[in-house]
Amino acid sequence: MNRLIVSDSSPLIYFSKVGKLRLLEKLYDEIVIPEAVYAEVVIEAREKPGVNQIKRAKTEGWLKLEKVATDIDFESEGIEKVDAEVISLARKLNAPLLTNDRALAVRAKSHGVSVKWLTLVLIDAVRQHALSPEEAQRVLIDLVRAGLRVRSEVIVMVLKMIDEYRGRQSTK
Protein backbone atom coordinates (compact mmCIF):
# COMPACT_ATOMS: atom_id res chain seq x y z
CA MET A 1 0.00 0.00 0.00
CA ASN A 2 0.98 3.58 -0.56
CA ARG A 3 0.12 4.72 2.94
CA LEU A 4 -1.27 8.26 2.64
CA ILE A 5 -2.56 10.47 -0.15
CA VAL A 6 -4.34 13.83 -0.23
CA SER A 7 -7.03 14.09 -2.87
CA ASP A 8 -8.39 16.95 -4.88
CA SER A 9 -12.07 16.86 -5.76
CA SER A 10 -11.70 15.54 -9.33
CA PRO A 11 -10.52 11.99 -8.45
CA LEU A 12 -13.33 11.63 -5.93
CA ILE A 13 -15.90 12.90 -8.41
CA TYR A 14 -14.81 10.77 -11.34
CA PHE A 15 -14.09 7.53 -9.50
CA SER A 16 -17.46 7.81 -7.76
CA LYS A 17 -19.23 8.57 -11.06
CA VAL A 18 -17.99 5.27 -12.50
CA GLY A 19 -18.58 3.29 -9.31
CA LYS A 20 -14.87 2.82 -8.52
CA LEU A 21 -14.30 5.08 -5.52
CA ARG A 22 -13.44 2.04 -3.39
CA LEU A 23 -10.41 1.52 -5.62
CA LEU A 24 -8.76 4.33 -3.68
CA GLU A 25 -9.47 2.50 -0.42
CA LYS A 26 -7.77 -0.60 -1.83
CA LEU A 27 -4.66 1.33 -2.84
CA TYR A 28 -4.13 3.71 0.08
CA ASP A 29 -4.14 3.33 3.85
CA GLU A 30 -5.46 6.87 4.24
CA ILE A 31 -7.16 9.26 1.85
CA VAL A 32 -7.32 12.72 3.38
CA ILE A 33 -9.14 15.76 2.03
CA PRO A 34 -9.72 19.27 3.31
CA GLU A 35 -13.22 19.95 4.62
CA ALA A 36 -13.57 22.40 1.71
CA VAL A 37 -13.15 19.56 -0.82
CA TYR A 38 -15.87 17.58 0.95
CA ALA A 39 -18.16 20.62 0.84
CA GLU A 40 -17.44 20.97 -2.88
CA VAL A 41 -18.07 17.32 -3.81
CA VAL A 42 -20.93 16.52 -1.44
CA ILE A 43 -22.71 19.57 -0.06
CA GLU A 44 -22.54 21.73 -3.19
CA ALA A 45 -23.03 18.73 -5.51
CA ARG A 46 -26.14 17.52 -3.63
CA GLU A 47 -27.76 14.85 -5.79
CA LYS A 48 -25.11 14.42 -8.49
CA PRO A 49 -23.96 10.89 -9.38
CA GLY A 50 -21.47 9.45 -6.91
CA VAL A 51 -22.24 11.75 -3.98
CA ASN A 52 -23.60 8.89 -1.87
CA GLN A 53 -20.39 6.88 -2.38
CA ILE A 54 -18.33 9.81 -1.11
CA LYS A 55 -20.62 10.26 1.91
CA ARG A 56 -20.35 6.54 2.65
CA ALA A 57 -16.53 6.65 2.41
CA LYS A 58 -16.49 9.39 5.04
CA THR A 59 -18.97 7.55 7.26
CA GLU A 60 -16.96 4.32 6.99
CA GLY A 61 -13.84 6.25 7.97
CA TRP A 62 -11.56 5.52 5.04
CA LEU A 63 -12.00 9.03 3.63
CA LYS A 64 -10.79 11.44 6.27
CA LEU A 65 -11.56 15.16 6.48
CA GLU A 66 -9.24 17.73 7.93
CA LYS A 67 -9.75 21.40 8.68
CA VAL A 68 -7.01 23.33 6.90
CA ALA A 69 -5.64 26.79 7.47
CA THR A 70 -3.59 27.80 4.47
CA ASP A 71 -0.74 30.26 4.28
CA ILE A 72 -0.83 30.29 0.48
CA ASP A 73 -1.93 33.56 -1.08
CA PHE A 74 -4.33 31.84 -3.47
CA GLU A 75 -5.52 35.06 -5.08
CA SER A 76 -2.03 36.14 -6.15
CA GLU A 77 -1.32 32.59 -7.35
CA GLY A 78 -4.51 32.54 -9.42
CA ILE A 79 -6.03 29.48 -7.75
CA GLU A 80 -9.17 28.81 -5.78
CA LYS A 81 -9.06 28.78 -1.97
CA VAL A 82 -9.96 25.08 -1.94
CA ASP A 83 -6.92 24.36 -4.14
CA ALA A 84 -4.69 26.29 -1.75
CA GLU A 85 -6.08 24.15 1.07
CA VAL A 86 -5.37 20.93 -0.83
CA ILE A 87 -1.78 22.02 -1.47
CA SER A 88 -1.33 23.12 2.15
CA LEU A 89 -2.70 19.82 3.47
CA ALA A 90 -0.46 17.73 1.20
CA ARG A 91 2.54 19.82 2.24
CA LYS A 92 1.65 19.56 5.95
CA LEU A 93 1.22 15.77 5.75
CA ASN A 94 4.19 15.35 3.39
CA ALA A 95 1.90 13.33 1.16
CA PRO A 96 1.40 13.23 -2.60
CA LEU A 97 -1.55 15.08 -4.10
CA LEU A 98 -3.96 13.05 -6.21
CA THR A 99 -5.45 15.21 -8.96
CA ASN A 100 -6.35 15.53 -12.60
CA ASP A 101 -6.05 19.31 -12.65
CA ARG A 102 -2.97 20.49 -14.55
CA ALA A 103 -2.97 24.03 -13.08
CA LEU A 104 -3.28 22.65 -9.55
CA ALA A 105 -0.48 20.16 -10.23
CA VAL A 106 1.83 22.95 -11.39
CA ARG A 107 1.06 25.05 -8.30
CA ALA A 108 1.47 22.05 -5.99
CA LYS A 109 4.88 21.24 -7.46
CA SER A 110 5.94 24.86 -7.02
CA HIS A 111 5.22 24.38 -3.30
CA GLY A 112 7.27 21.19 -3.11
CA VAL A 113 4.29 18.79 -3.22
CA SER A 114 4.56 15.64 -5.32
CA VAL A 115 1.65 14.95 -7.64
CA LYS A 116 -0.05 11.68 -8.51
CA TRP A 117 -2.21 11.82 -11.64
CA LEU A 118 -5.63 10.22 -11.48
CA THR A 119 -4.86 8.08 -14.56
CA LEU A 120 -1.76 6.61 -12.89
CA VAL A 121 -3.98 5.19 -10.15
CA LEU A 122 -5.17 2.66 -12.74
CA ILE A 123 -1.62 1.51 -13.40
CA ASP A 124 -0.99 1.22 -9.66
CA ALA A 125 -4.20 -0.79 -9.37
CA VAL A 126 -2.98 -3.26 -12.01
CA ARG A 127 0.48 -3.51 -10.39
CA GLN A 128 -1.08 -4.18 -7.00
CA HIS A 129 -3.65 -6.62 -8.43
CA ALA A 130 -6.59 -4.46 -7.35
CA LEU A 131 -7.73 -4.47 -11.01
CA SER A 132 -6.96 -6.79 -13.90
CA PRO A 133 -5.52 -5.12 -16.99
CA GLU A 134 -8.87 -5.55 -18.71
CA GLU A 135 -10.73 -3.94 -15.80
CA ALA A 136 -8.28 -1.03 -15.73
CA GLN A 137 -8.82 -0.41 -19.44
CA ARG A 138 -12.61 -0.46 -18.94
CA VAL A 139 -12.36 1.94 -16.01
CA LEU A 140 -10.25 4.34 -18.07
CA ILE A 141 -12.85 4.27 -20.85
CA ASP A 142 -15.64 4.75 -18.29
CA LEU A 143 -13.82 7.72 -16.76
CA VAL A 144 -13.48 9.40 -20.15
CA ARG A 145 -17.15 8.70 -20.93
CA ALA A 146 -18.05 10.24 -17.55
CA GLY A 147 -16.39 13.47 -18.66
CA LEU A 148 -12.82 13.13 -17.42
CA ARG A 149 -10.68 15.30 -19.64
CA VAL A 150 -7.51 13.49 -20.57
CA ARG A 151 -5.26 14.23 -23.51
CA SER A 152 -5.32 11.49 -26.13
CA GLU A 153 -1.57 10.90 -25.79
CA VAL A 154 -2.06 10.27 -22.06
CA ILE A 155 -4.81 7.74 -22.78
CA VAL A 156 -2.52 5.97 -25.27
CA MET A 157 0.35 5.97 -22.74
CA VAL A 158 -1.82 4.55 -19.95
CA LEU A 159 -3.29 1.86 -22.22
CA LYS A 160 0.22 0.94 -23.38
CA MET A 161 1.47 0.67 -19.80
CA ILE A 162 -1.48 -1.55 -18.91
CA ASP A 163 -0.80 -3.72 -21.98
CA GLU A 164 2.88 -4.01 -21.01
CA TYR A 165 1.85 -5.19 -17.57
CA ARG A 166 -0.52 -7.74 -19.15
CA GLY A 167 2.42 -8.98 -21.25
CA ARG A 168 4.57 -9.41 -18.12
CA GLN A 169 1.77 -11.35 -16.41
CA SER A 170 1.40 -13.78 -19.34
CA THR A 171 5.16 -14.58 -19.37
CA LYS A 172 5.21 -15.61 -15.72
Q: In angstroms, rounded to a whole number, what is the distance separating the alpha carbons of residues 14 and 94?
A: 24
| Whole-number Å distance between alpha carbons of 165 and 106 | 29
pLDDT of 10: 92
Query: pLDDT at position 74, please?
Result: 79
Residues of the chain short of pLDDT 50, as ranges, are 1
> For position 172, what pLDDT does the model report?
53
Same domain, 22 and 42: yes
pLDDT score, position 170: 54
> Which pLDDT belongs to residue 42?
85
Residue 136 to residues 84, 102, 140, Cα–Cα distance (Å): 31, 22, 6
User: Rounded to the nearest 5°, which phi and psi values hold at 66?
Assistant: -140, 135
Residues 65, 131 within the same domain? no
139, 101: one domain: no
Same domain, 86 and 164: no
**Which domain CATH number covers 100?**
3.40.50.1010
Q: Cα 44 to the chain's mean position, in Å?
A: 19
Examine the domain organization and report whether 71 and 139 are in the same domain: no
At 79 the pLDDT is 74
What is the domain extent for residue 98? Answer: 4-118
| Total number of domains constituting the chain | 2
